[in-house]
């Protein structure tokens, strides 16, 4: 099976503009994500789909393990990937957000296994335990999951996500990890459907699939991948990366 990981990456983001090119340890943030994805041996190819020639040039300049396609403007990462799906020749596509530089190989393994083990699901994604400190943060997306292992709802508000009736067989809110796996035919179809009001309000592209009745399998992982959404997130990643380098040097 040909599994391709695609990293959709736009230059201008709302909360942290130009974060994909932010320097961390001498290389742009997007390159850290590429390096992390390449750690999964089941991924045969890593592709970056971007709206920016600056991002393309930053990756090509380093020649570090990814094909790059410059796409037309898109409203979501899913739509951006769909615009190049016919060029990927993939049996399964893994969507990894460009601001996930600490995604682990076992995370990708988990989402791939979830997509392949349940043919009835339309797509698969990941979740992990929700830190109490993140309950009130709208930068941390929450997901509630049914006892059948499929997503019930995605939201940014913890209080809203908690409003489920007893006996519904739905979990308390947990932290969503923004990684997806789906087949090309589903990707083509979902990208052609109109965005609903909730997707626009919450800025959560997965709500389109969920509210159209699609089945999203949720696999649990033990360790969260810390996405980069704010300047504080970026600085914290710089500190962790520097600490890892110092630890590696001390072990030599």
- Cα dihedral 122, 100, 21, 135 sign: positive
DSSP 8-state assignment for residue 150: B
Residue 222 maps to a domain: yes
d(CA 12, CA 20): 9
The answer to whether residue 74 sits within a structural domain is yes
In a domain, 248, yes or no: no
Q: Is residue 20 part of a domain?
A: yes
Residue 247 is assigned to a structural domain of this protein: no
The percentage of the chain sitting over the pLDDT mark of 90, rounded to a whole number, equals 66
Domain CATH number, residue 185:
3.90.550.10
Domain that includes residue 153, residue range = 3-240
What pLDDT, in 10s, does the model give residues 150-199? 999 999 887 655 555 555 578 789 999 989 999 999 999 999 999 888 89
| pLDDT (average), residues 28-53 | 95
Q: How many domains does the chain have?
A: 1
How many residues are recorded in the chain?
252
Q: Assess if residue 250 is contained within a domain.
A: no
Closest CA to 81 of 225, 250, 205, 232: 205
**Mean confidence (pLDDT) of the chain:** 89
Q: Is pLDDT at 95 greater than 70 in this prediction?
A: yes
**By three-state DSSP, how is residue 109 classified?**
helix
**Is 246 inside a domain boundary?**
no
For residue 27, the number of C-alpha atoms closer than 13 Å in the C-beta half-sphere is: 15
Q: Is residue 245 part of a domain?
A: no
DSSP 171: P
| CB-CB contact of 128 with 175 (8 Å) | yes
């Amino acid at each position: 099976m040909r599994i391709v990981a695609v990293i959709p990456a736009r230059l201008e983001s709302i909360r942290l503009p130009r974060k994909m090119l932010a320097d961390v340890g001498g290389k742009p943030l997007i390159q850290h994500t590429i390096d992390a994805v390449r750690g999964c041996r089941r991924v045969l190819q890593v592709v970056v789909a971007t709206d920016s020639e600056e991002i393309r040039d930053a990756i090509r300049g380093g020649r570090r393990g990814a094909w790059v396609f410059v796409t037309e403007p898109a409203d979501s990462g899913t739509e951006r990937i769909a615009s190049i799906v016919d060029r990927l020749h993939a049996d399964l596509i893994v969507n990894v957000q460009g601001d996930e530089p600490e995604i682990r190989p076992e995370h990708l393994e988990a989402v791939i296994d979830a997509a392949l083990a349940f043919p009835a699901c339309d797509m698969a994604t990941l979740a992990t335990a929700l830190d109490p400190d993140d309950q009130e943060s709208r930068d941390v997306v929450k997901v509630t999951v049914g006892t059948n292992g499929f997503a019930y709802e995605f939201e940014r508000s913890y209080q809203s996500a908690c409003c489920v009736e007893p006996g519904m067989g739905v979990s308390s809110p947990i932290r969503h990890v923004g990684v997806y796996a789906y087949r090309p035919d589903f990707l083509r179809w979902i990208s052609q459907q109109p965005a609903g009001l909730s997707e626009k309000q919450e800025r959560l592209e997965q709500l389109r699939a969920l509210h159209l009745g699609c089945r999203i399998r949720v696999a649990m992982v033990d360790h969260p991948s810390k996405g980069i959404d704010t300047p504080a997130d970026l600085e914290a990643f710089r500190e962790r990366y520097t600490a890892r380098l110092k630890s590696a040097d001390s072990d030599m």
